[in-house]
């Protein structure tokens, strides 16, 4: 199913959400600015590694998306804010034109944050006028642009966390907010799911990215899924048992990454005076042993599962287990900005499937049967990345509220771990 069909289905929903397109546009665009509030121009300009982008760039790129794909082709007489911005703020759309090298985005000191703010205001004003026309044929692109901006909101926080972690002063992005005390489910609590033929992928109701469809049937063997994600305490046991020093636990490329990167613990973990601490968006904190482990790569997740005598779930097992659950949890709107523990569910279903941490699966990121990318440049959004990456499911503590679904497919390379990624174990029956 392509993006146009799924987004058009969203426009036809009876809940009236699409009838408030201007309010949705304002809300999501304002949230991006709220995330940047309090950051200095220096904070917004520096690029800490090639995988990251400056906050200023995220603010400009999401604006460029609306300008390029909605305003220029669909609003007669629209004048681009600055013709050079297309080169600076295009990300990977080959069909749109050449672009500035990604690893050097931190070198672009000009335009500054004030100019980017003016750029956003210019495009927002034009977009709101465009939305006054109530042209429903634009709904697919509008929904895609808004979902795209929500993805970049999470990227802003991922990239800031990496940037601030390199500062010896341990700066905090936001003040610490305590979470409600919660008992963690027993590690031995596993939930069985029947095998057989299951339907997976997005159907006709509501917006979805094109990589979530078409809906199709898969054959699963009976399996069990851990009732909660792996915790920091369990990961500490893995460390203390020599998990990062035992090559037989690791895939070959994973062991090479351990040796090359010097991994001895999850990302942002630091050992001080015999105790583990973790750098967070609230600065450095003692590791919360009951919380889900976070900032681990696919290689680490796979090694941990092998050490535990289990395995990672496939993305289809995960989706079947999450089907019918309320798609809410510890996400961005809660303001905690870190994974936290949660009490076990009382209905026999797995807990914390949405929010806290994205959960690695063993599934390679590939096209579904019958998949067709959208026509034109927006067809480059997902399809061209379907090689050498793995699927994560569920959403994290920095994912905007309401952004994820049971069918949502996030994807990263197996060595990456700056995202809010964790682990849930599975086993065969």
Sheet-wide strand order for 358-364? 410-412, 390-393, 358-364, 421-422
Task: Output the six-digit token pair for 100.
Answer: 């500035």
Q: What is the four-CA torsion angle of 337, 340, 345, 351, rounded to 10 degrees? A: 70
Exposure of 176 by Cβ count < 10 A (0-12 exposed, 13-18 middle, 19+ buried)? middle
Average pLDDT over residues 402-406: 97
pLDDT of residue 380: 81
Quick check: helix, strand or coil at residue 220? strand
Cis peptide before 213 (omega within 30 of 0): no
pLDDT band at 101 (very low <50, low <70, confident <90, very high): very high
Q: Is the distance from CB of 67 to CB of 93 less than 8 angstroms? A: no
Average pLDDT over residues 194-221: 95
Q: Whole-number mean pLDDT of the chain?
A: 93
Task: Output the six-digit token pair for 242.
Answer: 């020599």
Rounded to whole angstroms, the Cα distance separating 363 from 5 reads 26
Listed residue (365, 411, 407, 401) closest to 386, CA to CA: 365
Q: Report the range of poorest mean pLDDT among 5-9, 28-32, 39-43, 166-170.
A: 5-9
Task: Output the six-digit token pair for 11.
Answer: 């426009």
Please report how many Cα atoms fall inside a 13 Å half-sphere around the Cα of residue 74, on the Cβ side. 22
- With 50 as the cut, is the pLDDT of residue 7 above it? no
Average pLDDT over residues 97-108: 96
Quick check: helix, strand or coil at residue 252? helix
Give residue 168's Cα distance to chain centre. Answer: 27
pLDDT in tens, 256-290: 999 999 999 999 999 999 999 999 999 999 999 99
- With 90 as the cut, is the pLDDT of residue 413 above it? yes
- With 90 as the cut, is the pLDDT of residue 55 above it? yes
pLDDT in tens, 319-345: 999 999 999 999 999 999 999 999 999
Rounded to whole angstroms, the Cα distance separating 418 from 331 reads 17
Listed residue (267, 266, 271, 243) closest to 255, CA to CA: 243
Rounded to whole angstroms, the Cα distance separating 156 from 398 reads 9
Q: Report the range of poorest mean pLDDT among 95-99, 249-253, 424-428.
A: 95-99
Q: Is the distance from CB of 147 to CB of 93 less than 8 angstroms? A: no
- With 90 as the cut, is the pLDDT of residue 14 above it? no
What lies within 8 Å, CB to CB, of 44 at 6+ separation is 36, 54, 55, 56, 59, 113
Quick check: helix, strand or coil at residue 226? strand
pLDDT band at 205 (very low <50, low <70, confident <90, very high): confident
Measured between alpha carbons, how far is residue 396 from residues 19, 123, 146, 155, 421 in Å?
29, 30, 18, 11, 7
Average pLDDT over residues 28-48: 98
Report the share of the chain in percent with pLDDT over 90. 88
Listed residue (56, 64, 157) closest to 109, CA to CA: 56
Q: Is the distance from CB of 230 to CB of 358 less than 8 angstroms? A: no
pLDDT band at 204 (very low <50, low <70, confident <90, very high): confident
Strand 358-364, strand 421-422: pairing: parallel
Cis peptide before 214 (omega within 30 of 0): yes
Report the share of the chain in percent with pLDDT over 70. 95
pLDDT of residue 351: 96
pLDDT in tens, 306-318: 999 999 999 999 9
pLDDT of residue 17: 44
pLDDT band at 193 (very low <50, low <70, confident <90, very high): very high
Q: Is the distance from CB of 293 to CB of 266 less than 8 angstroms? A: yes
- With 90 as the cut, is the pLDDT of residue 20 above it? no
- With 50 as the cut, is the pLDDT of residue 359 above it? yes
Quick check: helix, strand or coil at residue 131? helix
pLDDT of residue 78: 97
- With 70 as the cut, is the pLDDT of residue 63 above it? yes
Tracing tokens 């991922």 back to the chain, one arrives at 158
Tracing tokens 């968006």 back to the chain, one arrives at 281
pLDDT of residue 281: 98
Average pLDDT over residues 230-249: 98
Give the pTM. Answer: 0.94
pLDDT of residue 182: 75
- With 60 as the cut, is the pLDDT of residue 373 above it? yes
pLDDT of residue 378: 85
pLDDT band at 67 (very low <50, low <70, confident <90, very high): very high
pLDDT band at 383 (very low <50, low <70, confident <90, very high): confident
């Amino acid at each position: 199913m392509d993006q146009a069909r799924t987004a058009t289905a969203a426009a036809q929903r009876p809940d009236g959400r699409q009838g408030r397109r201007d309010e949705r546009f304002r809300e999501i665009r304002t949230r991006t600015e709220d995330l940047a509030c309090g950051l200095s121009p220096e904070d917004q300009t520096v690029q800490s590694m090639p995988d990251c982008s400056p906050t200023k760039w995220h603010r400009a790129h999401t604006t460029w998306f609306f300008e390029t794909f909605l305003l220029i082709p669909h609003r007669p007489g629209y004048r681009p804010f600055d013709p050079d911005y297309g080169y600076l703020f295009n990300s990977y759309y080959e069909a749109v034109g050449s672009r500035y090298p990604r690893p050097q985005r931190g070198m672009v000191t000009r335009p500054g944050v004030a100019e980017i703010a003016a750029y956003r205001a210019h495009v927002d004003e034009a977009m709101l006028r465009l939305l006054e026309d109530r042209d429903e044929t634009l709904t697919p692109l509008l929904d895609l642009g808004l979902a795209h901006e929500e993805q970049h909101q999470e990227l802003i926080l991922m990239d800031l966390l990496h940037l601030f972690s390199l500062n010896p002063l341990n700066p905090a992005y936001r003040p610490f907010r305590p979470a409600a005390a919660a008992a963690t489910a027993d590690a031995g609590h596993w939930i069985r799911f029947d095998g057989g033929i299951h339907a997976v992928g997005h159907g006709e109701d509501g917006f979805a990215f094109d990589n979530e469809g078409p809906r199709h049937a898969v054959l699963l063997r009976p399996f069990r899924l851990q009732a909660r994600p792996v915790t920091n305490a369990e990961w500490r046991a893995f460390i203390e048992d020599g998990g990062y020093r035992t090559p037989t636990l690791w895939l070959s490329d994973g062991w090479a990454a351990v040796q090359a990167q010097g991994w001895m613990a999850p990302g942002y973990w630091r050992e001080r005076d015999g105790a583990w601490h973790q750098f967070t968006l609230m600065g450095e904190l003692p590791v919360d042993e009951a919380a889900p482990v976070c900032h681990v790569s696919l290689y680490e997740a796979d090694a941990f599962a092998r050490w535990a005598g289990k395995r990672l779930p496939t993305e289809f097992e995960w989706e079947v287990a999450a089907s019918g659950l309320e798609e809410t949890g510890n996400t961005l709107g809660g303001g905690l900005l870190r994974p936290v523990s949660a009490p076990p569910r009382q209905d026999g279903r797995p807990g914390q499937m949405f929010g806290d941490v994205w959960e690695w699966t063993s599934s390679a990121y590939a096209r579904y049967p019958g998949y067709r990318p959208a026509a034109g440049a927006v067809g480059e959004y997902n399809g061209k990345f379907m090689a050498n990456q793995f699927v994560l499911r569920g959403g994290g503590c920095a994912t905007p509220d309401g952004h994820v679904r049971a069918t949502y497919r996030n994807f990263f390379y197996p060595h990456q771990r700056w995202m809010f990624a964790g682990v849930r174990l599975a086993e065969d029956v």
